[in-house]
Amino acid sequence: MTITIPPVVRLTDIGCTFGSVSAIKSVSLEIQRGEVVGLVGENGAGKSTIIKILAGIIPPSKGRIEINGIICSFRGPKDAFKAGIGVVHQEQSLFTNLTVAENIDQHRSGADWMSRIGLQRWSRVNRDATAALQKVGVKLDPKTYVRELSFIDRQMVEIARAVCIDPAVGGTPLVVLDEPTAILEPEETAVLEREIRNLKQFASVIFISHRLDEVLRICDRVIVMRSGEFILDKPSKDVTREELFSAMAGRHSQESQKGHARSPKADVAAIEVRELTRRGQYRNVSFAALPGQIVALVGSNGSGSDSVMRAMFGAEPHDGGEIKVDGRRVAGWSIPRAVKAGLAYVPAERKIEGMIGGFSAAHNVAMVHPGEAAIGPIRLPHLRRKVAQSWFNRLDVHPNNVVQPLVYFSGGNQQKVVLAKWLNSKHMKVFLLDHPLRGLDAGASETVNAQIRQACDSGAAVVLIPDTIEEALDLADKIIVLRDGEVSARYDMTIDSNLSVQDVLEKMV
């Protein structure tokens, strides 16, 4: 007699609406044991809603969920976890006032009589946490408080917590990884890829990433979402990156020529740092960005690149060296002075430093440089909406609703609004961009890159911290590599046109 093994996940006619908005439109899906399925789509396509349904965060409006052949109705995340679903969300969900071990052990809360009355077998908690961390190749003391960890280490703890699902749930566990590599360095991404291959031995995986090459490399199968529907479902070996992009965006990629085809617009640097030093962060960092030129700062976590950029914008002090704008040394440098001098800054943590989520998108666009939204010192709401609408049309922001609070937009569309806030300036001289493509889908990345190139063509100097080395090679005219707070290499792309990812990586580590 043949025994039929049910799929690990079966979604049948799943739909989800919020008021009059249909976020998911009758999608169906099956995932088999040991399968890694890539889920891709533009920001706002519905991926996050699917994940929230699987995680028990929101219920579907219709349809049926089956996990290992059992029909499930989740009342919350604990129900989903008990069914064998572990999720690493894009936004971190660790308790910073607890230890690594306590965070990893959260899923066991109430599992035995001791934990129900507030007692723990700490030897068991620490031992289990150590085993989970070893699975993802991380050497951390399980007794360390999460608040003491770097952002990258916190992400790895999130992954460790998801992969420690107990196989004794009665079937095959499902691990959902939502943008797990967004903030990881190349060597850490390699560790994660190895762990995903190990996971296939006893689990199934849904892998969400905006890096299409990464999806094709890691996943067995790829599903493309657009406007709340599954519009492509193919084995990875049978689909190309261009095909995925076209399915996601509804158009072909139109990426322009690489950055090193440009020439500077002037001989005097728009911004220059000389022997810039901050104790514990970086030492004797020197480089210049000319008008119409893109300079990429490349380095691993802890290289000091982000701190250098914040010093350039006046957001952090420096202990030694100097900053020059338009050839003149600046003193008493601060954010207001930097903005007045024509500098713009898009931070890596846009939700914290780059926007006010409770304000409308229109308010955010006109916040720093109101432009035509103001008459003298008076800012008029109807003009503010008009200015924002022009940027929405230019940057293809969705939903096309400028009065909606920015917190309700997807991450990629929030990034477009943050860019518009600075691009609305008529006198921008220097554009500082800290990981501008982080969390953006391929279509949104192309739009943002086009705006970066256009800013250069208009005479602005751009200093960029990219997510990947490939991004630096595609965009930059010059690449400055930092390692342990010091410049370890400099490349001019007009001379080093054959520079490879491996060449840069060797100078980073």
pLDDT by residue, tens only, the chain of 509 residues? 556 789 999 999 999 998 777 889 999 999 999 999 999 988 778 898 999 999 999 999 999 999 999 999 999 988 898 888 988 876 667 888 899 998 888 765 544 544 544 556 677 788 888 888 887 667 889 999 998 887 668 877 887 787 666 555 567 889 899 888 876 777 677 777 887 888 888 889 999 988 888 999 999 999 999 889 999 999 999 999 889 988 887 766 655 445 555 677 778 999 999 999 999 999 999 999 999 999 999 988 778 999 999 999 999 999 999 999 999 999 999 999 999 999 999 998 888 889 999 999 999 999 999 888 878 778 788 999 999 999 999 998 988 999 999 998 888 889 999 999 999 998 999 999 999 988 777 788 888 899 999 999 999 999 999 988 888 998 999 999 999 999 999 999 989 888 988 899 888 87
Query: Helix, strand, coil % (nearest 5) of the chain?
Result: 35, 25, 40
What's domain 10-249's architecture?
3-Layer(aba) Sandwich (3.40)
Torsion of CA 57, 60, 65, 71, to 10 degrees: 90
| Residue listed under structure tokens 């990884």 | 177
Tokens of 253: 């990629």
Domain ranges in the chain with CATH number 3.40.50.300: 10-249, 259-508
DSSP β-bridge partners for residue 54:
none
CB neighbourhood size of 148 (10 A):
12
Residue 134, classed as helix, strand or coil, is helix
Q: Which of 18, 80, 16, 93 is nearest to 50 (CA)?
A: 16
**What is the rounded CA–CA span in Å between residue 450 and residue 405?**
26
Q: What is the 3-state secondary structure (H, E, C) of 376-403?
A: CCEECHHHHHHHHHHHHHHHCCCCCCCC
**What is the rounded CA–CA span in Å between residue 495 and residue 509?**
23
Class of domain 259-508: alpha beta
**What is the rounded CA–CA span in Å between residue 188 and residue 152?**
9
Answering whether pTM is above 0.85, one says no
DSSP annotation string for 288-356: EE-TT-EEEEE--TTSSHHHHHHHHTTSS--SEEEEEETTEE--S--HHHHHHTTEEEE-S-IIIII--
**What is the rounded CA–CA span in Å between residue 387 and residue 373?**
6
